[in-house]
Structure formats: C-alpha cells, structure tokens
Structure 1
C-alpha cells in the first residue's frame, strides 16, 4: 500500500491509485470527467491545473501494447475528443502527453496543458515537472481549485453532449 496526497490535501492509502479511481473507491477532486466501458478520464488528483486530464484504463495493465484492439481504438478516440474539448472549451493551444510503463499505477496518459503562467518555466519537456510542483505548492488555493473545478465541469458538459 502507498500513501498518496491528493490536491485537496487528503491522503489515501492504496496499492494502485488508478484502480482506486477507476473503480470509484477514490473520487478525484471535481469528479469524473468521462467514463466509458474501458477508460476513465479525470483531473489529476495531485496538481491543480485547469485542463490537466488523466485518461486511465479500467483494466489493470501496464503498457500500451497490452490494450486490446477495441481498447486501442477507444483510447485514440477518447484522447482526440478530450484534446478537442481542451482546445474548443478551454482555449488550450498546446498539450504535453505523458505515458510511462515504470509507474506504480496502471496504464494512464497525462494530458498536461500549457498555460501562459507556465512560460516562466520554459517551453520544453524539462519544464513540466517544475510546473507541476509549482502548481501543487503555489496554485493550490481556493480560487485556483474553483477554476479547476469549473474547467472540469465545462469539459465534462462538452464531452457528454458530444460536441467534441
């Protein structure tokens, strides 16, 4: 079991945070963004950044090549829909995508948006970790949390209506 601190300061103990979230045992701050038969999308629970989305498989696998053909097709469709919603609903022009296989959680992809305030950290992959840590430490106040929740709600509504 691992002890994980959420963006709201609460801690959870779980062997796999992705399993806990996709099963509903842990609800991410702001709730579920999108859920299908094979995937679950939500705001990252540790970093309060508007439009930062995690797309996680419901099945506990570690690698992209473990997806079934049906899951692979759904994965690409969902990434595309979420990205379109980030652009159309939140005005996010650039996103970094991260997926790694040496994680303690199971298969998931981070969709990390680039916001204007992030320019101070540079425009490269090396800037992402400092941005995330800054958001967690310096942008985790009530005002920012409300902005993040509003972004989640706007993305959720657009995706549910099938606009993106």
Structure 2
C-alpha cells in the first residue's frame, strides 16, 4: 500500500492509484472528465492546476507497447479530443505530455497545461516539477480549487456532448 496526498490535502492509501481511480474506488475531485471502454480521464488528484488531465488506461499495464491495437487507437483519439477541448474551452495554448514506465501505478499520461505564470520556472521539462509543487503547496485555497473545478466542468461539458 502507498500513501498519496491529494490536492485537497487528504491522504489515501492505495495499492495502485490508477486502478483505484479507473475502477471508481477512489473518486477524483470533480469526477470523471471523460471515459471510454479503455481509458479514464480525470483532473490530476495531486496538483490543482486548471486543465491538468490524467489519461489512464483501465487495464493495469505499465508500458505503451502493451496496449492492444484497439487501445492504441482509442488512446490517440481520446488524447486528441481532450487536447482540442483544452484549447477550445480553456484557451490552453501549450501542453506538456508525460508518461513514464517506472511509475508506482499503471499506464497513464499527464497532460500538463502551460500557463503564463509557469514560465518564471523556465520553458523546459525541468520547470514542470517546481510548477506542480507550487500548485500543490500554494495554489490550494478554496478559490483556487473552485477555479480548477469550474474549468473541469467546462471540459466535461465539451467532451461529453
């Protein structure tokens, strides 16, 4: 079991965070953004940044090469659909995508939006960690969380038309 601190400050113990989220055992703040047979999209549970979406496989796998052909097609379709909604609804111009195979839970992709305030940390991948920590530790007021939830609702409406 692993302890994880959520963006709302609560701590949960789970064996696999992605399994807990995709199965419905753990409900992310704001709920599911979008879901298909193979994938589950939700606001990142640890970092309160508007439009920071996690796209997780429902099946417990570690690597992209383990996806079936149907899952690969669905993955690209869903990723593209979410990206378009981020741009159209939230005005997000740039996104960093991350997927790592040495994660403690299963296959998922982070879609980290880049906002103007983030550039004080730089424009490279190295700037992302300080941005995430700032959001978790300093941008977690009720007002901040409400902005994240409002953005999430806008994305959900767009993606589930």
Which range, TM-score by smaller chain? over 0.9
Deviation at 1:120, TM superposition (A): 1.0
In structure 2, stretches of 5+ residues that fail to align are: none
Q: How does 1:1-164 map to 2 (within 5 A)?
A: 1-161=1-161
Task: Give the gaps of 5 or more residues in structure 1.
Answer: none
Shift of 1:57: 0.2
Q: Give distance in 1, aligned partners of 2:139 and 2:6.
A: 14
TM-score when scaled to structure 2? 0.99
What is the CA distance between 1:110 and its match in structure 2? Answer: 0.1
CA positional deviation for 1:152:
0.6
Runs of 4+ in 1 over 2 A off after TM superposition: none
Cα displacement string for residues 90-131 of structure 1 (whole angstroms, at most 9, x for unaligned residues): 000000000000000100000000011111111111000000
2-side partners of 1:3 and 1:124: how far apart?
Answer: 29
